[in-house]
Amino acid sequence: MPEIWLSYGPTDVVLDVKAENLEKQLVPGGVNLSDSEIATKLESLDMSKPTEFVIMEHSKTIQKVISVLLDICTKKSFPKPKFLVDKSNLHSLKNIFSDPTISISEFNASQFSNANLIFIGEMEFDALFGYNNISTKLLRRFGKDNMLEAYEKREGNLPLPGYELKTMDVAKKFTDGFEISAIEIVANQTGVVDIATGHPSSTSLLSTSLSSIAIQQTEKHRVGIVSTGKESSNETLSRSLSSIWNCSNAIKEEGLVILLAECKHGLGSEAIQQYVEGRMSLDRLKNPSKYIEGMDDLLFLTEMHKKFGIGIVSILPHLFTKDKLGMIPFSGAKQAIDYVLKTYGDRQKVVIVPDGSHVLLR
């Protein structure tokens, strides 16, 4: 019996599946950069002047890039940069830095006027914009008044990760108004694959690099088990759903996809929260007069239910996942496998996606 370890929160859990039930594992490609290669990619940054890095999220690859940046400053006797982070990630980032002399503080929108800001983010896929890059992160976080325009530009009501979409024009227009810089990272589960620096309008071109390691042509599968591949991508339900959207084209009609996502920070979406509390109807999703954060994921979840079943291993209450969102909740990976074999037969084969954040199935 092969042992397959899948990311679940800050740890990994084992998925015990018999060899005859394992169809295949689908993982991203890419060759990881060494520390010296990462440093070379970062050479264009001018850190001789006071610099403030804005950390958009925390992940092992972002930690790696920050570590290289600090090494560059030490070797060249540059002043240590300051780090700014959203309040939700402030505690996590403070635990990462062992040097007490490094300044870490909360970031807010009023600081956009600072031309020395350099945003650090890891590029992934996005079901509404095609790609989740620095521009889309900034739009979702600080340009909520513009999100309705992007939502109205969507091409249908199904997720479209990895495509060049008109919705991205809204994100680019938003960030074009700021004199800021960015470090855009492409990664897989084991390390950094590529890096681009510059204004977000130019670093967004790294999408070709992400697609080259992530897109896989595959036949449709009846049952898939998907892990997001990293802790920061499964902290909330909303964040983790992107891994399902990345794999949705490879699941057969009336099939089943099971998501492993701890969701320790809950639903992570105002729209989904309002829906489970009975304060939003699904009728509002297709033509809303106002965009509510996470509305796109709720729309995609509703439409995907018409195609295949969605199960989840998480700590979310069944009242939310089963009763309100129509998902099949499981207490653990073993229970999920047992359900598959009982429902589809002892000979049912399962495709495993250990790094759903960095894989796109076509």
**Structural contact between residues 121 and 56, judged by C-beta atoms closer than 8 angstroms:** yes
Give the confidence band of 115 by pLDDT, cuts at 50, 70, 90. Answer: low
Summary mean pLDDT of the chain:
92
**End-to-end CA separation in angstroms for the chain:** 29
Least confident of 21-25, 96-100, 101-105, 203-207: 96-100
Task: Report the pLDDT averaged over residues 97-121.
Answer: 79
CA atoms of 29 and 48, how far apart (whole Å): 35
Give the confidence band of 108 by pLDDT, cuts at 50, 70, 90. Answer: confident
CA atoms of 123 and 358, how far apart (whole Å): 9
pLDDT in tens, 154-203: 999 999 999 999 999 999 999 998 888 999 999 998 899 999 999 999 99
**Structural contact between residues 88 and 108, judged by C-beta atoms closer than 8 angstroms:** no
User: How would you write 296-359 as a 3-class SS string?
Assistant: HHHHHHHHHCCCCEEEEECCCCHHHHHHHCCCEEECCHHHHHHHHHHHHCCCCCEEEECCHHHC
Spell out the long-range contacts of 17-20 with Cβ–Cβ below 8 A and sequence spacing 24 or more: 17/337, 17/350, 17/352, 20/347, 20/349
Single pTM value for the model: 0.93
Cα–Cα distances (Å) from 148 to 143, 301, 362, in that order, read 10, 19, 28
Give the confidence band of 104 by pLDDT, cuts at 50, 70, 90. Answer: confident
**Structural contact between residues 269 and 297, judged by C-beta atoms closer than 8 angstroms:** yes
CA atoms of 252 and 257, how far apart (whole Å): 10
Q: What is the per-residue pLDDT for 47? A: 84
Task: Report the pLDDT averaged over residues 23-48.
Answer: 92
The domain 35-211 is placed in CATH, from the list 3.30.70.580, 3.40.50.2000, 3.40.50.11440, 3.10.129.10, at 3.40.50.11440
Task: Report the pLDDT averaged over residues 64-74.
Answer: 92
Q: What is the per-residue pLDDT for 112? A: 67
Q: What percent of the chain has pLDDT over 90?
A: 73
Q: In the chain, where are the structural domains located?
A: 3-26+218-361, 35-211
pLDDT in tens, 203-246: 999 999 999 999 999 999 999 999 999 888 899 999 999 999 99
Task: Report the pLDDT averaged over residues 248-255.
Answer: 95
Note the CATH number of domain 3-26+218-361: 3.90.226.30
Q: What are the residues whose beta carbons fall under 8 Å from the beta carbon of 257, sequence distance 6 or more? A: 223, 224, 225, 226, 244, 247, 248, 251, 308, 309, 310, 311
Q: What is the per-residue pLDDT for 139? A: 95
Give the confidence band of 99 by pLDDT, cuts at 50, 70, 90. Answer: confident
Res 60 pLDDT > 90: no
**Structural contact between residues 330 and 321, judged by C-beta atoms closer than 8 angstroms:** no
Give the confidence band of 113 by pLDDT, cuts at 50, 70, 90. Answer: low
For residue 114, what is the DSSP state? -
Q: What is the per-residue pLDDT for 157? A: 95
Q: What is the per-residue pLDDT for 46? A: 85
